[in-house]
Amino acid sequence: MRGSVAVLALLAVTTTPATAQWDIGFEMSTIHYHGSSGDTTNSGGPQAFRPASATTVGVRVDRGIGRARVGLQASYANVGLTATGPGLTLIDNSTGQLIEGQLVVNFRVVGIGSSGAIRAELGPSLHLWKSGDENRTRVGAMGALAYEWPVAKRFSGAIRLEGMISKSWFDDGDLPPEYERQATRRYGVGLALRYRL
């Protein structure tokens, strides 16, 4: 995983074709988590503990390289903790912050109309989650589809659907013994405004 991150970063920095273009953008997303833990004994308590749904605010820089783009995205959100059970969901948003970074390769899948396009993205992601006094670092894999369209002159808009998977955000000893850690899955939808430099 680290090797692939280094290769993508090297391509982004050192490749300088004549057609290279830079974009900068801002994005707001709504994210929802699944997995992370589960009750294995039907103990009568919550069925699962997981990070809470949240709204992220992010900034992104893309570099066009031929038909593809290589980008870096950083985002921030207040992400608390959710406990779910039959007919009941408890959410604690009083604590928890998430800082996230993604390195993505973005390529066009199909054009729509004269200038719109659907693009696909793949890449690794790094999650720094602080819950209470505990700090967690997780590496995951991300995939996304985005519809992009021109807004005005150098501005473009994008709607982005994203999925992410990583190992559980809980460590050994975080949960009661009847709970097992599971992969953390996240789904989100975002709206972005980008500017071509």
Question: Is 15 contained in some domain?
Answer: no
Question: Is 181 contained in some domain?
Answer: yes
Q: Residue 31 pLDDT > 50, yes or no? A: yes
38 compared with 114, residue with greater pLDDT: 38
Q: Residue 123 pLDDT > 90, yes or no? A: yes
- The DSSP bridge pattern shows strands 179-196 and 88-92 to be unpaired
Task: Over range 36-52, report the average pLDDT.
Answer: 85
Q: How many domains does the chain have?
A: 1
Provide the phi-psi class of 81: left if phi over 0, else alpha when psi is between -120 and 50, else beta.
beta
Question: Is 117 contained in some domain?
Answer: yes
Residue 105 · residue 70 · CB < 8 Å: yes
Question: Is 14 contained in some domain?
Answer: no
CATH number, domain at 173?
2.40.160.20
Q: Which domain holds residue 85?
A: 2-9+21-196
